[in-house]
């Protein structure tokens, strides 16, 4: 997004779908194909779907919305999010608005280094074999590069090697090859490297060849983001202190850390789906990283500073702006145009910022009115639109007690969205 385009679009949530599309069109971010795709409703043709996976019988749609107010590394960003859950987009937008007042999110991503693994079993003297493999580093990296010449021509390729003895007694050894994959997510590239190098690894080390595949725990492809937010933006010092105490709770207790991280991933996953990323790999890597020290910990933390809070997050994040769904899915191409990331590293920082915003929104709700009040108002808004019905088409009766509890809130639903930050 160019510097003169703002991610704050006043009253966006009040507009009808056609007016929202006109507002986005006026920003000049989308080409004609992307605009036509969104104007048509954003569906995926079944002929395209049939090429994307197997046994296709139809397509399954998710709502596509925009999180607003994000400013990341001094650039305003519109964040497309595909999600069925009410409140996720509104909450992220609201938290981004709070952080924006203090300058927005800042972040950096490591070079796009993926990890290829080659497994060996029954290796005689595994420690000595590991030493031989380390000594053969140059030839092994060259063999890996030879398998991916086009990536090497674009400036990528194999960068490092590590031999790890997992069990000297059983002779289990694994070789890691670290491969720079440019703006791709890189799974296919590193799988190619692993398979190409495996025979040479076996000749050097001996033993029985096992798996040859990437690892989704991409510890050399981390992203780190930070944000500050003022007490008055959050609703006062008491709320800010409550957020910090909730964050400390997650640091001390893995049961809480699990739900804390789920709140972080709520926003990140929704943006990843909209942008055609492998959210399953992202989830696996994030949770493995949270437990890498032997105890499951939060991916993000919030600490008190004078007059506010500072939030920090760090996690592995392998994403791509080329390849995969970007080649065939018009909606993914439109989403990438909206977010405007020029590289995979820039995209990773945006996605991690969305995670941190979602985490802040959840903790603020927990530290103030509780998570249910606003969340369930938005659920009821979905029900009021006819989401719950009987097989005969009549509106379904709410579960016992829900009707009375939410009846008065139906009229408040649009206000709830506004207060949650859905576009203001």
Strands 75-82 and 300-305: unpaired
In a domain, 399, yes or no: no
Look at residues 215, 238, 261 and tell me which one is the last residue of a structural domain. 215
In a domain, 174, yes or no: yes
- The pLDDT value recorded for residue 372 is 58
Residues 272 and 343 in one domain: yes
Q: How sure is the predictor about 413, in pLDDT bands with cuts at 50, 70 and 90?
A: very low
- The pLDDT value recorded for residue 52 is 85
Q: Nearest 5 degrees, angle CA 210-CA 215-CA 216?
A: 150
- The pLDDT value recorded for residue 380 is 61
**Segment (H or E) for 224:** strand 222-230
Residues 230 and 323 in one domain: yes
In a domain, 296, yes or no: yes
Look at residues 160, 194, 215 and tell me which one is the last residue of a structural domain. 215
Residues 91 and 236 in one domain: yes
The CATH code of the domain that includes 321 is 3.90.770.10
Going by C-alpha positions, the residue among 346, 350, 355 that lies closest to residue 267 is 355
In a domain, 246, yes or no: yes
- The pLDDT value recorded for residue 373 is 59
Residue 423 has pLDDT above 80, yes or no: no
Residues 277 and 183 in one domain: no
| Average pLDDT score, the chain | 88
In a domain, 348, yes or no: yes
Residues 234 and 193 in one domain: no
Helix axes 344-367, 254-274, angle to 10 degrees: 130
- The pLDDT value recorded for residue 46 is 85
Helix axes 237-252, 254-274, angle to 10 degrees: 100
Residues 184 and 103 in one domain: no
CA dihedral sign, ordered 174, 179, 183, 189? negative
Residue 42 has pLDDT above 90, yes or no: no
Span 139-170, pLDDT tens digits: 999 999 999 999 999 999 999 999 999 999 99
Q: Are 108 and 224 within 8 A, CB to CB?
A: yes
In a domain, 391, yes or no: no
Look at residues 374, 389, 408 and tell me which one is the last residue of a structural domain. 374
Q: Which two tokens stand for residue 190?
A: 């590193």
In a domain, 280, yes or no: yes
Residues 341 and 241 in one domain: yes
Could you give the residue numbers annotated as active site?
Answer: 85, 262, 278, 375
Question: Domain range for residue 368?
Answer: 12-110+222-374
* CA distance linking residue 318 with residue 339, whole number of Å: 17
Going by C-alpha positions, the residue among 324, 315, 318 that lies closest to residue 276 is 324
Span 309-322, pLDDT tens digits: 999 999 999 999 99
Span 271-298, pLDDT tens digits: 999 999 999 999 999 999 999 999 999 9
Residues 237 and 318 in one domain: yes
Residues 106 and 118 in one domain: no
Q: Which two tokens stand for residue 152?
A: 């090497």
Q: Are 140 and 184 within 8 A, CB to CB?
A: no
In a domain, 418, yes or no: no
Report the domain count for the chain.
2
Residues 63 and 85 in one domain: yes
Residues 102 and 121 in one domain: no
- The pLDDT value recorded for residue 37 is 87
Provide DSSP, 339-386.
Answer: H--SSHHHHHHHHHHHHHHHHHHHHHHHHTT-HHHHHHHHHHHHIIII
- The pLDDT value recorded for residue 183 is 94
Span 193-251, pLDDT tens digits: 999 999 999 999 999 999 999 999 999 999 999 999 999 999 999 999 999 999 999 99
Q: Nearest 5 degrees, angle CA 205-CA 206-CA 210?
A: 95
Going by C-alpha positions, the residue among 285, 359, 343 that lies closest to residue 316 is 285
Rg (CA), the chain: 24
Residue 419 has pLDDT above 90, yes or no: no
Residue 3 has pLDDT above 90, yes or no: no
Residues 170 and 197 in one domain: yes
The b-or-e profile of 234-270 (16+ CB within 10 A means b, else e) is: beeeebbebbbebbebbeeebebbeebbebbbbbbbb
Q: Are 311 and 360 within 8 A, CB to CB?
A: yes
């Amino acid at each position: 997004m160019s510097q003169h385009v703002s991610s704050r679009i006043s009253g966006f949530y009040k507009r009808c779908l056609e007016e929202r599309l006109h507002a986005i069109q006026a920003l000049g971010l989308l080409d004609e194909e992307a605009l036509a795709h969104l104007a048509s409703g954003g569906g995926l043709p079944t002929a395209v779907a049939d090429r994307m996976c197997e046994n296709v019988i139809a397509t399954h749609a998710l709502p596509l919305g925009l999180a607003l107010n994000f400013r990341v590394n001094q650039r305003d960003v519109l964040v497309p999010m595909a999600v069925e859950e009410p409140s996720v987009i509104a909450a992220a937008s609201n938290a981004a608005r709070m952080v924006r007042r203090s300058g927005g999110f800042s972040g950096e991503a490591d070079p796009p280094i993926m990890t290829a693994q080659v497994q060996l079993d029954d290796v005689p003297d595994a420690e000595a074999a590991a030493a031989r493999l380390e000594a053969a580093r140059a030839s092994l990296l060259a063999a890996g590069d030879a398998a991916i010449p086009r990536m090497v021509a674009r400036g990528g390729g194999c960068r490092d090697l590590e031999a790890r003895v997992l069990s000297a007694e059983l002779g289990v050894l694994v070789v890691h090859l670290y491969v720079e994959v440019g703006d791709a997510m890189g799974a296919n590239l590193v799988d190619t490297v692993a398979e190409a190098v495996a025979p040479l690894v076996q000749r050097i080390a001996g033993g029985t060849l096992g798996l040859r595949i990437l690892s989704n725990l991409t510890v050399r492809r981390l992203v780190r983001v930070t944000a500050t937010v003022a007490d008055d933006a959050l609703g006062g010092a008491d709320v800010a202190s409550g957020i910090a105490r909730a964050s400390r709770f997650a640091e001390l207790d893995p049961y809480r850390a699990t739900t804390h991280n789920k709140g972080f991933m709520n926003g990140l996953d929704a943006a990843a789906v909209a942008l055609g990323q492998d959210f399953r790999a992202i989830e696996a890597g994030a949770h493995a990283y949270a437990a890498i020290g032997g105890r499951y910990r939060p991916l993000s933390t919030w600490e008190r500073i004078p007059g506010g809070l500072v939030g920090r997050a760090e996690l592995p994040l392998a994403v791509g702006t080329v390849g995969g769904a970007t080649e065939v899915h018009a909606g993914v191409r439109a989403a990438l145009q909206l977010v405007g990331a020029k590289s995979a590293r820039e995209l990773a920082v945006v996605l991690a910022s969305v995670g941190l915003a979602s985490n802040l929104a959840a903790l603020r709700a927990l530290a103030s009115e509780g998570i249910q009040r606003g969340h369930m108002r938005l659920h009821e808004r979905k029900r009021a639109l006819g989401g719950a019905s009987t097989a005969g088409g009549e509106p379904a009766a709410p579960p016992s007690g829900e009707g009375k509890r939410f009846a008065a809130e139906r009229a408040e639903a649009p206000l709830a969205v506004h207060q949650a930050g859905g576009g203001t």
